[in-house]
Amino acid sequence: MKPFLRWAGSKRKLLPKLTAFWKSDYKRYVEPFMGSACFFFSVRPTRALLGDLNKELVATYAEIRDNPMSVWDCVSSLRQSKKSYCQLRKVHPSNLDAAAAAARFLFLNRFCFNGLYRTNLRLTKCLQRLDRIGVDFVVSYADCREARELFGGWRVQRVAVQRNIAGFVGARRCAYELVISNRTAN
């Protein structure tokens, strides 16, 4: 199943590598930084816990899960034009009901200019904790010397990916990601 959001830092291009770490008999899937959740939609686990710092993103997923038809009705009523994009962007989601706020999020996500995100390296502490309590993990992280040093204690694969975060096609380029796991791929 394909994700319905376009998300900076999406793992879509890494899916062939990441899915090799998935076992169908895992009891539970946990993804704390879900974004477009493309790995989740690819493996479709029966039990999952998804989270994200972005409250609007989380509220959108929850509304699609709980009231898909209301969200669909709201999305369908939006006109695809620059004017309606600019008008909708000015509306604060707290002034909309849950379905309309989710539709707004989907619409802006679909038609916005490509974005960029940053994260930090405190991730290693979290991975060490998961490793200690016997949880299998797979993480991808932009390749750099610091990350190679930090994650070097686990299995690390360096993978080439096409980056699509630049707004202009000519500025898109190939970059490297590290796929880090505490287990071997299937």
Q: Which is nearer to ligand SAM, 11 or 104 (CB)?
A: 11
Q: Is 45 exposed, middle or buried (0-12, 13-18, 19+ CB in 10 A)?
A: middle
Closest C-alpha to 175, from 2, 6, 8: 8
Dist. CA 4–CA 106, nearest whole Å: 8
Q: How far is the CB of 63 from ligand SAM (least distance, A)?
A: 17
Residues 104-143 that bind ligand SAM (CB under 6 A): 117, 119
**What separation in angstroms does the CA of 138 have from each of 75, 141, 171?**
34, 10, 29
Residues 64-83 that bind ligand SAM (CB under 6 A): none
From candidates 50, 52, 67, 164, binder to ligand SAM by CB under 6 A: 52
Q: How many residues bind ligand SAM (CB under 6 A)?
A: 16
Dist. CA 115–CA 7, nearest whole Å: 8
Residues 2-31 that bind ligand SAM (CB under 6 A): 7, 9-11
From candidates 4, 22, 29, 33, binder to ligand SAM by CB under 6 A: 33
Task: Give 177's strand partners.
Answer: 142, 159
Q: How far is the CB of 79 from ligand SAM (least distance, A)?
A: 28
Dist. CA 121–CA 65, nearest whole Å: 32
**3 phi, psi to nearest 5 deg:** -70, 155
Q: How far is the CB of 128 from ligand SAM (least distance, A)?
A: 17
From candidates 36, 60, 181, 182, binder to ligand SAM by CB under 6 A: 36
- Interaction site with ligand SAM (CB under 6 A): 7, 9-11, 32-36, 38, 51-54, 117, 119
